[in-house]
Structures are given as structure tokens and as C-alpha cells.
Chains A and B, each alone.
Chain A
Amino acid sequence: MGLERVFADEPAFVPYVAAGDPTYEESLEYVEALERGGADVIELGLPFSEPIAEGSTIQEAVVRSLEGGMTPDRYFEFVEDLDVDVPLVCMTYYNLIAQYTHPETGETGPRAFARRASEVGIEGFVVVDLPAEEAGPLREACDEFGQDLVFIIAPTTKGERLERMREHVSGYVYVQARLGVTGARDDVSDQTEESLARVDDWAVPKAVGFGIKTGEHAERIVAAGADGVIVGSALVDIVADGADPDVDQPFPETVQRLESKARELKEGALAGAERAAAERSD
């Protein structure tokens, strides 16, 4: 069974960070801190130079990582160097997949990328600019190598498009909580419940992302029916503080803050599940 397994018993906490942000070595420790804090799946960003779906927080993370020399092959090396047991999902943009050349076979394109990813243990992909209509070659490669292809459902996704995506999605469905680009917010969108209702009868778990910042947000999202929460910018903000000389946040403190934030979000998700169960029993 694929990524569905991690949502089976309790709500999942799915953090995102960009691999190599701000440096390769620091980033390894940050990812491991997220696992200690309770991550169930980690969406590990492979940075692309034109991240059109990201807000400024993740955009700046991408710049830091690329300036540190991150490339797709370095990314796969990074995954091999990681000491984590939870499943990893590669989150990226399609051009890096389309251009990828496998170092040993010389093959180019989605199959080569999926193959190399499977060799280092990546279990799935979220490709931000790849709608279901264009996903055929990567979907086939995922099937061949036993990986999941996660799609994002936006608040604007309705009707036939929703049905088309239902056919292609596997692992979990990424429910975008609000319109726009990524970024931490101070409130939880009212669109979330409506968005969840649209995929209520889908067979895959539903993980909600975009704008989730606190344990309380996570609790409300899970209480509203989500099987998991995806959090990126709130974590990348902590990484950014660690990379900012003006903030003067020592490296061990960044690691500690990330672990604590992860724990807060995981506990929020668990509390949300309890709240939902209590409401059901009422």
C-alpha cells in the first residue's frame, strides 16, 4: 500500500521544506527535526527557478537553496544522506522532471526521474504545474515504479475537472485551503470545509494545505474532516530566521524551533481528530 497507509490510524502531519535551504548540511538536520517532531510524510521541495505557485516565503527558500548549488542529482544525494524513516514526497515543477537525465541509463524525462527517485526511496510526487491533463507520462512512470502522484484540488476545481483528477490521483489528495499562492496566514479559510465536501467520497485520504500556521489551525482543519494537514511556509519562516544574520538565531535553536513547531502541529491534528470523534458521539 502506498502513502495512504500513513493516514490510516490517525491524522497525518505533512511538513514541507525546500531541500538544501539554507545549506545542504543544515537542511539535513532540519528535515530530521521535523520527523522527531511528528512528521508522518515529508514533502521535500526540489527547487525550481520559477516557482509561480509559491508566495514570498518559499520563493526565498528556493533562491537560498539554488544559490547553495542544489540540482536534481544533488537532491537525490540529499535524500540518500537523510536519516528518516517516514515516507518522502518530492514536490517540484515539471520542467525539472522533463529535463532530467538518469546518470546511469542516460534516459531523459519523467521515467528517468521517477526511476532515480525510486532508487533513493521517494514514494510520491506533487508537481505544482502539472494538471491531470498533462500528467500521462509521469503517471505511467509512477505506476511502473510503484509511486504515488498527488494532485492539488483548488477551491476553483469543480465539475468535470474534479472527476478527471479523481481518476489520476493516488496516495492522498492535496486540498488547497484557499485561492492564491503558498504562505502562512493568521486565520483558517472558510473555503476549507466546502473544499473537503467536494472530495468527501474519494477513496484517497484528504490532506489540507495553504495557510496553516498553528496547532490550533491544524486542529480546526482536522475537526472539519481532513485526514491530514500540510504545512510549509510556517516552517520555512523558521528556517529563514536561522539563515538571517539580523535575527541571530543559532543553528541548534533553529533545529529546536522546527521540532517544537512540528510537535505543535501534529498535536493540533490529533486534537482535531478527538474533537471530531467527540462531535460524532454527541
Chain B
Amino acid sequence: MSTDETFGEYGGQFVPESLMPAIEELTEAYERYVLDNEDGFMDEFRRRLADFGGRPLPLQHAESLSDRYDTEVYLKREDLLHGGAHKLNNALGQVLLAKYMGKERIIAETGAGQHGTATAMAAAHLDMPCEIYMGETDIRRQRPNVFRMKINGAEVNPVTTGRGTLKEAISETMRDWATTVETTHYVIGSVVGPAPFPAMVRDFQAVISEEAREQVQEKAGRLPDSVLACAGGGSNTMGTFHHFVDDEDVGLYAVEAGGSSLEVDEAEGVAPNSASLSTGDEGVLHGARTKLLQDSHGQIMESHSVSAGLDYAGVGPELAHLVDEDRVDAVNVDDDSALEAFHRLSQDEGVIPALETAHAFGYLKEHHDELGDLVIVNVSGRGDKDLETVLEETEKRDLDVAPDMSVLRDAAGSGGDL
């Protein structure tokens, strides 16, 4: 077997020379351990995903949403994975691989903190020292995950450059890796970066669609008409789609963050969205050729989403390819719609979704008539980490569905502790 270095015109290995030998070493390890299951690597990975991670995870029939939209809606519950998000599938796979490769140290970047949390947990579980790079802006808006990383024994290094979000954290982690590459493995948090990362991360996340495909046939007796997943870098998207890609009658929808607008301010170098699949152009960033939010000169734009986990100017190269091939529909919803969906799912189903996930439910609400009679939505993670952001952002808006939060304000006013 060999690795996919490119997906159509996307992918590749655009990295400083100091990293190339590590990329080659990783490629070899990926082929041996992941693709060929040498030394029983994949058996151990699956055993740990079960025992430590809690897999398999349910495909839940969402009764209220099904009634509301007159469509059978199933939730793939990745929020129930240990750590509260799909991220552990990849983090556990890569930390275990680093162990098999004889590496001594783990580094990672994180945006919303879920990948950082998952990596810190996997590193603690497998007894590896771990450092996480996180933008200052994201540290402020994702405090609970910063606590969790620290509690699991990881160092959290704040990144102050740019807007202090995921793009800057990735650049900073690559700098660390360039210095420590001989002893350190960089656990990239999505299906981005130089080959073999996009294919390898997809393979670790593909357990989502492997389970979902079996479960839906068991429960509904057939394949779904549509599968929805939110898309930032694209790891839960590719994981959720992978085993459906060859099922051409199944519609695949990658739901991006439309932010506050799809317009861009080129002079300021800012895109008020993170919709690189929907609005980006081909370019090279962080080791791969893919679709990017960039200005006409090729400078990377600052992106925006109410959800830190989607706030990235690029996207996985395989996903970009599948969109070009018309196999995946790139769609988007804005911040308001995601917030509304966050509240609706919480109230209707008792599932508090991550703000990332809420984008997929926002799209379901707006387009359920077009999605067929049987829809799977991936609940990529749980929303505990986002509660402060949700409270703050909800107060700025007039959302009918939002609960009255005055009890919190009253408690705070009388000396209560938020």
C-alpha cells in the first residue's frame, strides 16, 4: 500500500527542509503501522479507542427533530467520546503512533481546545510529555479546555502573533517542530498539513463513518439520503464522510462557518467568516496546497467564526478535492443561525452541542426539505467548553429560542459566582 500524497491537485508537502526527513519518517511509520497493521498497531488503537475512548458510540434517533422537520434525523454522538469530542480518535492514534516510532515528546496546536484536550489526555494515558500551543484569543474564549489540558499534565504555550487563533498556533507549533524534530512528534489536529497527515488523520477519524454506516443500516434498514458535518479544518467532516464517499446516492454536506458575512475586507486582510471551501481560492499553507482564505497577493487572511474550532483560514486538501469533484457540497451558515441551532438542539433533544456542531444543525433547520427522508448529523463535540461564549453572544442578539438567563445575572449581582 502507499500513501495518498495528493488529492487531485491538492495536498503535497510544502514544508521547510528541516521537517522533510520527519515527514518521510512519518510516512513510513504510517504505511507500516496504520495501513499494514505492523506489530498489531491498529488492533491496539482500536482496543484503546474502546476501553479508554468508550467506542462504539451510539447513532441516536432524534425524535423531536424528526417530528419538527418531518425527516428522520439521526445523531452520531461523537460528543460522547472520552473528552467530549471526536478529537480523541485522532489524538490517540497519533500519540500511540509516536510511541511506536520511539518519539519522546508530543506537541500540538489547538483552536477550540478540544484537540489540545484530547492530545493531553492521550499523552497522559500513554505517558508522554506534551506541550500545546494555543492562541491568546482562543485561551480567553475556551478557558475550560485550558484547565483540562493543564490538569492532564500538558504545558499550554500562549501564541500572541496575529489574531491569536488557530492559524497562528499551527505556525508556532511548526516552529517548535523544526527545532525538536528528531525527538518530537507533532500531533496535527485536523486533516490538514503536509502528507501523510491529511490521509492519516482521516484514517483515524474514519471510525465515525464506519460505525455510522453499519448502525444506520441496522436501525433504519438503509443508507441515509444525506450526511451533515461541520467543517473547519475538516477532520470530523472527513471522518464522517469517508465510508459514504463511494455511496453515490448519499449526499454529503460540509457545513462551514459563514461567520457574520461572506464578504471580505481585503484591505484589512480579514474575512469575517471561515468558509474556505465555499469562498476560498487554491493556495499553499501549512504544508499543503488547498483552498484558503487569502487576499489577491496570496497573503493569508484572518478568519472569523463565533466557534473557535472552525476559525481557520484553510481546510483539508481531500475535502477541497471532493468539493471540486462535486462529491461533497460545501455549504455554510452564519453565527446567528449556529447560535439559534445550539439552543434548539439543547432544548429539543437534551444534547448541548459544540458551537462547531451547531453549524450543521443550523443548516438542517434551513434546508431540511432538500435533504431527503433520512439524515445523519454528526455531533462532533459537546458544548460545555462554549457556554461562556454562548452566554455572551446570545446576549448580543435577539434570539426567540434562547432561554431567559436573568437568573445568572441576578446571582452575579448579589455576589454569586458565575
Contact = CB atoms under 8 A, between A and B. Distances in A.
Interface of A: 48-55, 59, 63, 66, 71-73, 93-101, 128-131, 133-134, 151-158, 161, 165, 176, 179-181
B299 A55 contact: no
Contact of B175 (A48, A158, A181): A181
Interface of B: 12-18, 20-22, 24, 161-162, 167, 171, 174-175, 178-182, 269, 281-287, 289, 292, 294, 296-300
A181 B178 contact: yes
Given A52-B16, A66-B299, A131-B13, A156 B181 contact: yes
Nearest to B24: A161
Contacts of B12: 134
Contacts of A54: 175
A93 B287 CA distance: 11
Contact of A95 (B161, B178, B179, B294): B294
A77 to B, nearest CB: 13
A129 B299 contact: no
B294 A179 contact: no
Nearest to A101: B296
Contact of B182 (A52, A99, A100, A179): A179
B17 A52 contact: no
A50 B281 CA distance: 17
25 contacts: A52-B15, A52-B286, A53-B18, A55-B175, A59-B161, A63-B161, A66-B299, A72-B297, A97-B298, A98-B282, A98-B289, A99-B281, A99-B297, A99-B298, A100-B298, A129-B16, A134-B12, A153-B17, A154-B18, A156-B17, A156-B20, A157-B17, A158-B21, A179-B182, A181-B178
Given A95-B285, A129-B284, A161-B24, A49 B269 contact: yes
Contacts of B296: 99, 101
B202 to A, nearest CB: 21
Contacts of A53: 16, 18, 175, 178
A66 B297 CA distance: 11
Contacts of B180: 179
B13 A99 contact: no
A54 to B, nearest CB: 8
Nearest to B282: A98
Contact of B14 (A49, A129, A153, A179): A129
Nearest to A158: B21
B13 A179 contact: no
A165 B22 CA distance: 16
Contacts of B285: 50, 95
Nearest to B172: A52
Nearest to B161: A59
A152 B299 contact: no
B297 A50 contact: no
A99 B294 contact: yes
Contacts of A131: 13-15, 17, 20
Given A55-B175, A72-B297, A156-B181, A95 B24 contact: no
Contacts of B13: 131, 133-134
- Report the 6 A-B pairs with minimum CB-CB distance, sorted nearest first: A99-B298, A180-B179, A154-B18, A53-B16, A156-B21, A95-B284
A53 B283 CA distance: 18
Contact of B174 (A52, A63, A71): A52
Contacts of A130: 14
Given A52-B286, A99-B281, 13 more contacts: A52-B171, A63-B161, A71-B297, A99-B297, A129-B14, A129-B16, A129-B284, A153-B17, A156-B17, A156-B18, A158-B21, A180-B179, A181-B175
B178 to A, nearest CB: 6
A50 B167 contact: yes
B266 to A, nearest CB: 11
B17 A95 contact: no
Contact of A50 (B21, B179, B181, B286): B286
B283 A98 contact: yes
A50 B171 contact: yes
A176 B14 contact: no
A49 B17 contact: no
